[in-house]
């Protein structure tokens, strides 16, 4: 009896270990390390020339990134974090208008450098992008999200033509665009940030 009990106990321990291994492996497959980075060659760092009403800056100081979240959890630019394969859908930017001008729209565009043919992913807010939203007056904070209308479905289908979505672990901040009344636009590859961890690279200096 004692021997049978020991055999049964050992069997249950092995079975529990197998379940733990399966659960851990499954969790690791679903959650991977991701990272959001600034571009090595941001827009505005190459003395680009533009004509009114469009202006390019080395850094946009009219807005300030307050925080960045993925699935409601804060992340820092350049620091790896854990997330599932839908992290790009769940990514949000909290941005404040620190200028004395009204903005009709803010757009942060990302690219996916791991793709052979990178695609652009916009995260937006403001009355220019959604007529149901108010324009962004001085001092106001807004949340930038990927537009909900089928855009993420398009992202997934485009990625699928080149690789698996779960293999996308990196996104680069490619371009930031501010829209003002009168069809005026300001753009840059760098933006003022509230958290020093998120500061754009020295290309701005």
Q: Based on the fold, state whether residues 131 and 143 are members of the same structural domain.
A: yes
Q: Based on the fold, state whether residues 87 and 178 are members of the same structural domain.
A: yes
pLDDT at 26: 42
Structure tokens at 101: 């001008």
Q: Based on the fold, state whether residues 22 and 63 are members of the same structural domain.
A: no
pLDDT at 187: 96
Domain that holds residue 4: 1-30
Q: Based on the fold, state whether residues 115 and 53 are members of the same structural domain.
A: yes
pLDDT, tens digit (0-9, with 9 covering 90-100), for 8-52: 555 545 444 444 444 444 444 457 899 999 999 888 777 777 778
Domain count, the chain: 2
> At which residue do the structure tokens 């020295």 appear?
202
State the average pLDDT for the chain. 86
Q: Based on the fold, state whether residues 128 and 44 are members of the same structural domain.
A: yes
pLDDT, tens digit (0-9, with 9 covering 90-100), for 59-80: 999 999 999 999 999 999 999 9
Q: Based on the fold, state whether residues 68 and 116 are members of the same structural domain.
A: yes
pLDDT, tens digit (0-9, with 9 covering 90-100), for 143-188: 999 998 789 999 999 999 999 999 999 999 999 999 999 999 999 9
Q: Based on the fold, state whether residues 73 and 14 are members of the same structural domain.
A: no
């Amino acid at each position: 009896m004692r021997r049978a009990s020991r055999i049964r106990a050992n069997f249950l321990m092995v079975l529990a270990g197998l379940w733990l291994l399966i659960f851990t492996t499954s969790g690791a497959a679903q959650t991977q390390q991701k990272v959001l980075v600034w571009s090595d060659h941001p827009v505005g760092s190459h003395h680009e020339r533009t004509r009114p009403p469009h202006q390019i800056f080395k850094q946009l100081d009219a807005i300030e990134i307050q925080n960045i979240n993925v699935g409601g959890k804060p992340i820092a630019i350049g620091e790896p974090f854990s997330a599932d394969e839908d992290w790009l859908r769940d990514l949000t930017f909290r941005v404040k208008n620190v200028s004395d001008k009204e903005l009709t729209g803010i757009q942060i565009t990302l690219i996916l450098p791991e793709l052979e043919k990178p695609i652009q992913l916009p995260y937006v807010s403001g009355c220019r992008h959604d007529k149901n939203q108010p324009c962004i007056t001085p001092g106001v904070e807004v949340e930038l999200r990927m537009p909900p209308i089928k855009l993420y479905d398009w992202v997934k289908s485009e990625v699928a033509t080149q690789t698996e979505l779960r293999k996308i672990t990196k996104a680069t901040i490619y371009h930031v665009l501010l829209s003002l009344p009168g069809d005026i636009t300001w753009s840059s590859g760098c933006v003022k940030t509230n958290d020093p961890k998120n500061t754009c690279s020295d290309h701005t200096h």
